Amino acid sequence: MKKPWPTKDAMTQIYELNLWGGKEFDFYSGEGSHDSKIVAPYLESVIEFLNAHNNSLSVCDLGCGDFNIGRQLLKYTSRYIAIDIVEDLIERNKSKFQENHLEFHCLDIAKDELPAADCIIIRQVLQHLSNAEIHDIVQKLQYYKYVILTEHLPIGTFAPNKDIISGQGIRLKQNSGVDLLEPPFNLKIKKEKTLIDTVLDNNKGRIHTSLYMI
């Protein structure tokens, strides 16, 4: 039997052991997907963007997690494709969330071909991945019109894109964070807009969401 990819193993273990909290839930994608101080302003800004396009955009959600965020964006899209690497999580989501314009797929977003859509949402996903995997994902983003990227970043000046082992924490403890516009990724965009920048309590950094027009 082919051995699963290390990232798949790491993410599966995170959910199995409730390493992001939420032991009372079957699957829990962490405070970033449930804390109202983070979620409410994020939803408001993304829904405003989707409404500005008359809810006509198709969206591909890379790393949909427990779908607490995606379920609240559904009605503002023409089609919603939710993707995650954890098989049991995707099967759970398929049984729990069902709409005519909603579909779930279990894919490795670094290795697998991604579905066509107008807009990509990547919400606090890249921060968990190695630079090599992020590089592979960035090569695919050029085929989409819009990218809404959310990352957990340090407050103030930081060194972008220090490498990590996938699934082994995030770059924050190295005073680093993912910036796709900086080396080694150098994502080419036409326009950038900050949708929301939420500063966390107790010097825990900030949750920054950018809209890129590719």
pLDDT 10s digits, 16-75: 888 788 777 788 888 889 999 999 999 999 999 999 999 999 999 999 999 999 999 999
pLDDT of residue 1: 42
Q: Is 161 left (phi over 0), alpha (psi -120 to 50) or beta?
A: left
Per-position DSSP letters for the chain, written without gaps between them: -PPPPHHHHHHHHHHHTTTTS-TTSSS---GGGT-HHHHHHHHHHHHHHHHHTTT--EEEEET-TTSTTHHHHGGG-SEEEEEES-HHHHHHHHHH---TTEEEEE--TTTSPPPP-SEEEEES-GGGS-HHHHHHHHHHHTTSSEEEEEEEE-SSS--TT----TTS--GGGGT----TTSTTT----SEEEEEEEEEPSTT--EEEEEEEE-
Structure tokens at 176: 């680093």
pLDDT of residue 5: 56
For the entire predicted model, the pTM comes to: 0.94
pLDDT of residue 2: 46
Question: In this predicted model, what pLDDT tens digit does every residue of 122-175 receive, in sequence order?
Answer: 999 999 999 999 999 999 999 999 999 999 999 999 999 999 999 888 999 999
**pLDDT, mean over the chain:** 94
- Tell me: cis bond preceding 184? Omega within 30 of 0 counts: yes
**CATH fold group of domain 6-213:** Rossmann fold (3.40.50)
- Edge-to-edge order in the sheet of strand 119-123: 102-106, 79-84, 58-62, 119-123, 146-153, 206-213, 191-199
pLDDT at 214 over 70: yes
Q: Where are the domains of the chain?
A: 6-213
Question: In this predicted model, what pLDDT tens digit does every residue of 86-129 receive, in sequence order?
Answer: 999 999 999 999 999 999 999 999 999 999 999 999 999 999 99
